[in-house]
């Protein structure tokens, strides 16, 4: 198991492909150092703005087993303290620091030089207004020699186009992506929103958003060689490898570590190593983009067949239960398919917990 988890990105060598995304775990140097010690290759600060944030209560809730909704604002620590204390402390402890700055052009102007001088290794720009990206990228590149990464949001009208424009205007890479929203959850007993924000709205993260993020990563990666940090919905080692295969150069994690604790980073690192060995990849770089040649295949399958392995079947019956067309029957572990009723949608195979039923 000597698979190599290091990545060379923006001229830096990271000890792991896993990066802690901007969020509550990187509230300050203390949290960042904890993530570094647990195995993060780099850590993005909570977003630094002119004024420290004042958050509504409550502002983070669990939505499903693997998803969160939050109404947490930017950093509740002032920019001055980040520059004077938190970034230098994190650097002293060996953390590779990505300074997240937002959300307006003026704030980026204010903080880019100070965070650079404080020792940040890279700068991540975070905006809510898509149209500000080009001018901000240009201004940021004028103000620092450190790599400038633009974080894109799935809530923009055209995140792909905006990412490409940022790259065209000098961005060194892209972080894809921010949370999805706004979204809403309601307590059916009190009839009130679960979050304490205005209107109760929040932002969805974790497992639920992974397919959205994967699609954008694949789209961007198939148009550029510049690095993409794939962030959004990575809950397991397999999710991380999927993100790399879609074209990410490194993998961001936020919600999984909030739900499972930062120590989960070492299990993720170990799991990625195991998967690389199993799939025959020696390095992270060799997995990155491995799925891209298969994504834009004009050839549409005209045939889809099921394979059933009786010895793997536990007779859980879920394949029968989920068939929308009532095409499946399972009697004494004997699988029957009514071919006239079956539309070959593939759901039965995709849901089979033991892979007894497969679709090829
Ligand atoms: C509670 C919470 C707070 C967050 N705060 C920030 C932030 O200050 N700045 C930022 O750019 N992203 C912030 N994010 C978004 C994450 O960096 C990340 O883009 C998003 O959570 C998707 O990744 P995940 O599915 O691994 O959580 C926050 C996410 C969560 C859950």
Choosing from 175, 205, 211 the residue with most ligand 1 atoms within 8 A of its CB, the one to mutate for a pocket test is: 205
Q: How far apart are CA 181 and CA 209, in angstroms?
A: 10
Q: Which residue carries 């000098």 as its tokens?
A: 170
Task: Express each pLDDT in 248-307 by its tens digit.
Answer: 999 999 999 999 999 999 999 999 999 999 999 999 999 999 999 998 766 666 678 999
177, 126 Cβ separation under 8 angstroms: no
Residue (of 220, 37, 52, 32) closest to 121 by Cα position: 32
Q: What is the 3-state secondary structure (H, E, C) of 108-125?
A: HHHHHHHHHHHCCCEEEE
- Residue ranges matching CATH 3.20.20.70 in the chain: 7-295
1 has pLDDT over 60? no
Task: Express each pLDDT in 54-79 by its tens digit.
Answer: 999 999 999 999 999 999 999 999 99
Q: How far apart are CA 95 and CA 81, in angstroms?
A: 17
Helix, strand and coil in the chain, % to nearest 5:
40, 20, 40
For atom 31 of ligand 1, the residue with the nearest CA is: 255
279, 271 Cβ separation under 8 angstroms: no
| CATH number for region 7-295 | 3.20.20.70
- Residue ranges matching CATH 3.30.70.20 in the chain: 306-359
| Torsion over CA: 291, 294, 295, 301 (sign) | negative
Per-residue pLDDT band for 360 (boundaries 50, 70, 90) equals confident
Show the ligand 1 pocket: residues with CB < 6 angstroms: 21-24, 46-47, 60, 68, 70, 72, 74, 100, 126, 151, 178-179, 205-206, 209, 231-234, 253-256
Q: How far apart are CA 162 and CA 165, in angstroms?
A: 5
Both tokens of residue 360? 């090829």
Q: pLDDT value at position 114? A: 98
Ligand 1 centroid to Cα of residue 125, in Å, is 13
Q: How far apart are CA 96 and CA 90, in angstroms?
A: 8
| Torsion over CA: 132, 138, 144, 148 (sign) | positive
Domain 306-359 CATH assignment equals 3.20.20.70? no
> Could you tell me which residues come within 8 angstroms of residue 96 by beta carbon, excluding any fewer than 6 positions away?
12, 14, 36, 41, 42, 43, 121, 122
Choosing from 17, 18, 20, 21 the residue with most ligand 1 atoms within 8 A of its CB, the one to mutate for a pocket test is: 21
Atom of ligand 1 nearest to the CA of 151: 11
Atom of ligand 1 nearest to the CA of 175: 19
């Amino acid at each position: 198991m000597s698979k190599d988890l290091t990545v060379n990105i923006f001229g830096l060598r990271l000890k792991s492909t896993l990066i802690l995304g901007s969020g509550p775990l990187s509230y300050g140097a203390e949290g960042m150092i904890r993530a570094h010690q647990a195995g993060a290759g780099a850590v993005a600060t909570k977003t630094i703005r002119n004024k420290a944030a004042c958050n509504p209560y409550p502002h983070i809730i669990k939505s499903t087993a693997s998803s969160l909704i939050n109404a947490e604002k930017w950093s509740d620590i002032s920019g001055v303290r980040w520059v004077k204390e938190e970034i230098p402390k994190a650097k002293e402890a060996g953390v590779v620091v990505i300074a997240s700055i937002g959300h307006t052009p003026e704030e980026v102007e204010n903080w880019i030089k100070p965070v650079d001088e404080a020792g940040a290794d890279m700068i991540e720009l975070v905006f809510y207004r898509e149209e500000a990206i080009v001018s901000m990228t240009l201004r940021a590149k004028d103000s620092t020699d450190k790599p400038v990464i633009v974080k894109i949001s799935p809530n923009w009208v055209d995140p792909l186009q905006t990412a490409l424009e940022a790259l065209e205007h000098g961005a060194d890479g892209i972080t894809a992506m921010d949370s999805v929203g706004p979204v809403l959850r309601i307590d059916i007993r009190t009839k009130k929103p679960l979050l304490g924000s205005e209107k109760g709205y929040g932002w969805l993260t974790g497992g639920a958003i992974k397919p959205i993020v994967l699609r954008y990563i694949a789209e961007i990666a198939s148009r550029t060689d510049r690095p993409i940090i794939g962030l959004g919905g990575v809950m397991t080692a397999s999710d991380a490898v999927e993100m790399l295969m879609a074209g990410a150069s490194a993998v961001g994690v936020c919600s999984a570590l909030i739900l499972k604790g930062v120590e989960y980073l070492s299990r993720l690192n170990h799991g990625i190593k195991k998967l690389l060995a199993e799939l025959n990849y020696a390095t992270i770089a060799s997995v990155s983009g491995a799925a891209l040649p298969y994504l834009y295949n004009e050839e549409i399958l005209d045939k889809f067949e099921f394979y059933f392995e009786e010895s793997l079947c536990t007779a859980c019956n879920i394949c029968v239960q989920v068939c929308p067309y009532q095409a499946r029957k399972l009697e004494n572990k004997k699988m029957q398919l009514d071919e006239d009723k079956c539309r070959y949608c593939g759901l039965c195979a995709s849901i089979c917990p033991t892979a007894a039923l497969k679709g090829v």
